[in-house]
Structure 1
Amino acid sequence: MTPATDPRGPSPALPPRLIATDLDGTLLHDDKTVSERTVAALAAAEDAGIEVFFVTGRPARWMGVVSGHVHGHGLAICANGAAVVDLHSGGTLLTVHPLERATALGVVRTLSRIAPGTTFGVETTGGFHHEPAYPTLYADEPGTIVAAAEKLLHDEAVGGAPVMKLLAQHPELAPDTFHALAREHIGGLASVTRSSAGALLEISGPGVSKASTLARCCAERGISAAEVVAFGDMPNDVEMLRWAGTSYAMGNAHPEVIAAASGRTVANNEDGVAVVIERILRKRT
């Protein structure tokens, strides 16, 4: 194990009261499962009085893989901070920070102009909607297909449901190139990030991020940033890792994440989150 991926450091400035962890590429193995070691570590943290929050880009409907592993409070932060979800009730949306349709429409028009060939999807509180050419992640859940990008944002197309995030995919641009281009041209309108290996952008309302919603949830509980330990692997985790008092980039993390985090653990397939939790709990005994 190299020093860069040594999970023994850093040590939290204060005893941790909350663990905030991303899912894909972080808590989950590449096959989208939670290992027995990680399940045990999460349960032990909750038993020790440390709350666990899943903080993910996933919508509520994709939380089944971890819904049984949040114990006391049952809450998760989904869609990159756009929603707080009660997993105990099957995914009830408790709080939504929407992307206004007028803003989303401006984003669609701008990206279509500066990156021709971009295709779009819209995640709403009522489900997923996308253009015919948009590549869906799961073949068994294609969502509602809408003919053109601008029609995706009409009330009749999405049933008037609030928009949680806009997704934009480009078939040819490199992921980081597309991300940088979008931030340059629409960063003043909305929050732009990415969590996929491909050129897929996730666009939320201005100021909405994993960090902003996690900060609100912590403030409601009287938990300071210094009492939070956070884990992540992709650019949509950067703000959260910078906000938390102690943060870890996974061994498989994107370079932006490594630069943002205060420490580094081993890869998701090596149970890097569990490794750190176990160390934290040993220090408490």
Structure 2
Amino acid sequence: MRDTWRVTSATERPRTPAPRPRPRLIATDLDGTLLRDDKTVSPRTVAALAAAEEAGIEVFFVTGRPARWMEVVSEHVHGHGLAICANGAAVVDLHASGELIHVRDLPRADALEVVRTLRAAVPGATFAVELTTGIHYEPEYPPFFLDPGASIGAAEKLLDPEFADAPVLKLLTHHPEMRPDDFLTLARQAAGGLASFTRSSPTALLEISGRGVSKASTLALCCEQRGIGPEEVVAFGDMPNDIEMLTWAGASYAMGNAHPDALAAASGCTVGNNEDGVAVVIEEILAGV
């Protein structure tokens, strides 16, 4: 049974069930976790990340964002410069302008079957296709204003290799009326055997990766390459797409603003993202508290 605890104030310290050895790696989500709501990284958090790496602790950014949206933290990268993007579908080098180091793609045949299945099971669902080269989406899909060059077309066309033969990182689907968690449950019931389904948006927007691909599974691969076990990892997150990572890590913290399922999955809880919850825990780790 995992011990759980909760922090409700920026001045209140995270409580741990027992002293732990200093971790070798910190894995943190970005939106709703490391980033404040205005998408900035606070000076306190910048200092905490730098201090962790100076103490020999690697820091991995682990996010649902594509590599091209990592400018929010690029200037805060220190020694290693690696990040896990697209919910585990890509490992990127932030020192090399988002160069892809490793890709775990969603096979096109599986993506097409997911589209066909969800069109039948959930009328009104629309789709977007995230390739290694950028995102493209259907006419009714909410537009990505950060990607003005995206092509518009039916998902079946966007998944046709003749349109673009770049690897598919993930498929996204949106529903204009369903509740987000209800949409996730229904989609998993209909097509969960074809791919991995999760969500990180406050709207009914689902993110679909290859079978077995998640933040946790890719983080585990990266840690294995470094000889780091899960018991040597501290993870931070706030949404359902963080659940596997929060469960896998030896110590994990959900943010005070986290989704209830993320809170349930984590072994601890810190204050919210606007109160520098990640920095609060890192400072305690480095102080040996």
Q: TM-score, normalised by structure 2?
A: 0.94
- Counterpart of 2:36, as a letter, is H
Match of 2:162 among 156, 163, 169: 156
CA contact under 8 A between 1:98 and 1:163: conserved in structure 2? yes
RMSD in angstroms over aligned alpha carbons? 1.3
SS at match of 2:288: helix
CA contact under 8 A between 1:130 and 1:143: conserved in structure 2? no
- Counterpart of 1:279, as a letter, is E
The answer on 1:41 being equivalent to 2:48 is yes
CA contact under 8 A between 2:195 and 2:212: conserved in structure 1? yes
Q: Distance in 2 between matches of 1:129 and 1:269?
A: 32
Provide, for residues 228-269 of structure 1, a one-character-per-residue CA deviation record: whole Å limited to 9, x for no partner: 000000000000000000000000000000000000000000
Q: Distance in 2 between matches of 1:16 and 1:82?
A: 25
Q: Distance in 1 between matches of 2:206 and 2:148?
A: 18
Q: Which moved more, 1:14-23 or 1:144-153?
A: 144-153
Provide, for residues 132-162 of structure 1, a one-character-per-residue CA deviation record: whole Å limited to 9, x for no partner: 111024x2423423321211100122x2000
Q: Distance in 2 between matches of 1:12 and 1:210?
A: 27
The answer on 1:121 being equivalent to 2:128 is yes
Question: How much identity, in percent, do the aligned residues show?
Answer: 70
SS at match of 1:134: coil
CA contact under 8 A between 1:12 and 1:246: conserved in structure 2? no
Give the equivalent residue in structure 2 for 1:9.
15
Residue pairs, 1:103-182, within 5 angstroms = 103-137=110-144, 139-157=145-163, 159-182=164-187
Match of 1:235 among 214, 234, 240: 240
- Counterpart of 2:239, as a letter, is M
Provide, for residues 14-39 of structure 1, a one-character-per-residue CA deviation record: whole Å limited to 9, x for no partner: 32000000000000000100000000
Residue pairs, 1:162-241, within 5 angstroms = 162-241=167-246
Q: Distance in 1 between matches of 2:196 and 2:234?
A: 23
Give the equivalent residue in structure 2 for 1:249.
254
The answer on 1:281 being equivalent to 2:283 is no
Match of 1:261 among 258, 263, 266: 266
SS at match of 1:69: coil
* Distance 1:24-1:12 versus aligned 2 partners, 3 A rule: farther
Give the equivalent residue in structure 1 for 2:31.
24
* Distance 1:168-1:245 versus aligned 2 partners, 3 A rule: same
- Structure 2's unaligned 5+ residue stretches are none
Count how many residue pairs are aligned between Structure 1 and Structure 2. Answer: 280
Runs (4+) of structure 1 exceeding 6 A deviation are none
- Structure 1's unaligned 5+ residue stretches are none
